[in-house]
């Protein structure tokens, strides 16, 4: 890449550090959003007097392992 040829190693390290920090922030934001969705879907189920059953519990556990 032409861009990479014009920056020194310190700048490359700083950019990589910043990139890793941004990736972690994105992962954390996604997790927060998904946790909120899960909680919301559970609350809707309880409002409608639905209960989690064995099938969905097993499905949740199998997805958790991945």
Q: What is the pLDDT of residues 41-55, one digit of tens each?
A: 766 665 566 666 676
Domains held by the chain: number: 1
**CB distance 52 to 45 below 8 Å:** yes
Mean pLDDT of 20-32: 94
**CB distance 4 to 12 below 8 Å:** yes
The domain in which residue 48 lies consists of 39-65
Mean pLDDT of 28-39: 85
- By C-alpha distance, which of 32, 34, 50 is closest to 42? 50
51 falls within a domain = yes
49 falls within a domain = yes
How far is 18 from 26, CA to CA, in rounded Å? 12
Tell me the pTM: 0.50
DSSP secondary-structure letter at 51? -
Which residue is it, tokens 């927060």?
32
pLDDT at 14 over 80: yes
């Amino acid at each position: 890449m032409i861009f990479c040829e014009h920056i020194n190693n310190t700048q490359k390290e700083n950019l990589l550090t910043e990139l890793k920090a941004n990736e972690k922030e994105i992962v954390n934001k996604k997790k927060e959003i998904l946790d909120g969705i899960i909680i919301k879907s559970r609350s809707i189920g309880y409002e409608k007097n639905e209960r989690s059953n064995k099938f969905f519990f097993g499905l949740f556990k199998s997805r958790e392992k991945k």
